[in-house]
């Protein structure tokens, strides 16, 4: 039915915008007749409006998902063609993100060929969080993101410049180089882009996960397990 409605709209638009065979535009009366047809379709099938709006939102959400998953600046772990993608928005000072970390790494370990994880640096808890995310993004250039990410997520207590540098050193990072790279505007631009896509999806806290298009806002292990299992089951059917 929705296809019929969209077809009517498309045909109506074509009639109203395109010239006739004799190169004469539609008359006002003809345009009124087309509008009347559209109104009659809507009057007799009011559910089509809701269906059309739902379809529009589905397409918008698909576009948002592509944007979220498609930023090459984000660090990712797992095959790029994996049938299941987990995107995590997190803050290094968020205790719920600390709790979610083991689950994320376990999902990768248990599904090495079918799960890919995209790490979305999303500092929302102050300047120390921003500094930690800048350092983490800079560590990508040294190939030490994962061990540094684990170290930052596992840290408890105050997180300041001295602690960030100490954790970086223990993760095998050249801290002088890291600090130099952190000063580049490209890294702040990256973090700002993450905030922008989060805002588009109405994310204002951490953690938030997107698992093959299904959102989990806040940390709920049972829901995360269920959502991941559903995604893996659907992937096996394809």
> Are residues 81 and 39 part of one domain?
no
Q: Residue 16 is part of which domain span?
A: 2-67
Same domain, 55 and 89: no
The model carries a pTM of 0.77
Which residues touch 165 (CB under 8 Å, ≥6 apart)?
Answer: 175, 179
Q: H-type helices in 75-114, by residue range? A: 95-110
Judgement on whether residues 55 and 144 belong to the same structural domain of the protein: no
Claim to verify: residue 171 and residue 77 sit in the same structural domain: yes
Tell me how many domains the chain contains. Answer: 2
104 and 53 belong to one structural domain = no
Per-residue pLDDT tens, the chain, 238 aa: give them. 555 545 545 545 555 555 545 556 778 877 777 788 777 777 777 776 667 666 666 666 667 777 899 899 999 999 999 999 999 999 999 999 999 999 999 999 999 999 999 999 999 999 999 999 999 999 999 999 999 999 999 999 889 999 999 999 999 999 999 999 999 999 999 999 999 999 999 998 999 999 999 999 999 999 999 999 999 999 988 7
Do 90 and 121 contact (CB within 8 A), yes or no?
Answer: yes
Same domain, 107 and 135: yes
Same domain assignment for residues 126 and 39: no
Domain end: 67, 83, 103, which one? Answer: 67
Distances (CA, A) of 64 to 61, 67, 119: 5, 5, 16
Identify the CATH number of the domain in which residue 224 sits.
3.40.30.10
Domain boundary among 18, 49, 67: 67
Assess whether 58 and 98 both reside in one domain.
Answer: no
């Amino acid at each position: 039915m929705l296809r019929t409605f969209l077809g009517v709209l498309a045909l109506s638009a074509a009639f109203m915008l395109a010239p006739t065979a004799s190169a004469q535009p539609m008359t006002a009366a003809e345009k009124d007749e087309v509008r009347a047809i559209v109104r009659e379709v809507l009057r007799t099938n009011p559910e089509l409006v809701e269906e059309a709006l739902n379809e529009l939102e589905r397409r918008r959400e698909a576009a948002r998902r592509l944007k979220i998953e498609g930023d090459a600046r984000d660090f990712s772990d797992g095959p790029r063609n994996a049938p299941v993608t987990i995107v995590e928005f997190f803050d290094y000072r968020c205790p719920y993100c600390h709790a979610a970390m083991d689950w994320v790494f376990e999902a990768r370990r248990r599904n090495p060929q079918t799960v890919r994880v995209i790490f979305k640096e999303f500092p929302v808890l102050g300047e120390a969080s921003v500094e930690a995310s800048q350092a983490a993004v800079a560590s990508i250039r040294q190939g030490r993101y994962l061990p540094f990410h684990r170290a930052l997520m596992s840290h408890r207590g105050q997180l300041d410049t001295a602690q960030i540098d100490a954790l970086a050193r223990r993760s095998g990072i050249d801290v002088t180089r890291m600090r130099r790279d952190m000063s580049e505007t490209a890294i702040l631009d990256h973090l700002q882009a993450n905030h922008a896509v989060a805002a588009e999806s109405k994310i204002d806290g951490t953690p938030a996960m997107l698992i093959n298009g299904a959102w989990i806002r806040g940390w709920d292990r049972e829901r995360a397990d269920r959502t991941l299992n559903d995604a893996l089951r659907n992937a096996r059917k394809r």
